[in-house]
Amino acid sequence: MLALVTMETLLRARCFWRLASPGSMTVLHKDYRTVPPQNFSNYESMKQEFKLEIPEYFNFAKDVLDQWTNMEKAGKRLSNPAFWWINGNGEEVRWSFEELGSLSRKFANILTEACSLQRGDRVIVILPKIPEWWLANVACLRTG
């Protein structure tokens, strides 16, 4: 459900109209909507009806990645890589949502236990363009 709400929000902006046209991107799941909302031509009504829903507490790793893992396990979402990285030599790393979740939980545990990282602490990650950079960022998001 979160993915559909996000796509609908993006389609409200003119610069994202190409996302709504068939063939402009790969369809990753069967529920993807390719038709813009009916009131798309009336900006004023769209502006008046728009309400951004912001949850009080949101954690991308827990609320999105873990939810997509559970949906894949239940067969409610097609199994796609959560992370797919290819270097200049053609070597690739693919992590499923379950793998990314597990690895980021392990990394987050190291940060909170061995490094005493607490919610709200600031972190800078300086690494080359490697998969571990992404993993470190997801782990930091997971810790809050």
What HEC string does 19-38 produce? HHCCCCCCCCCCCCCCCCCH
pLDDT in tens, 48-88: 888 888 888 889 999 999 999 999 888 888 888 999 999 99
- Rounded to a whole number of angstroms, the distance between the first and last alpha carbons of the chain is 23
Residues in the chain, pLDDT under 70: 1-41
Q: Domains, the chain, ranges and CATH?
A: 57-143 (3.40.50.980)
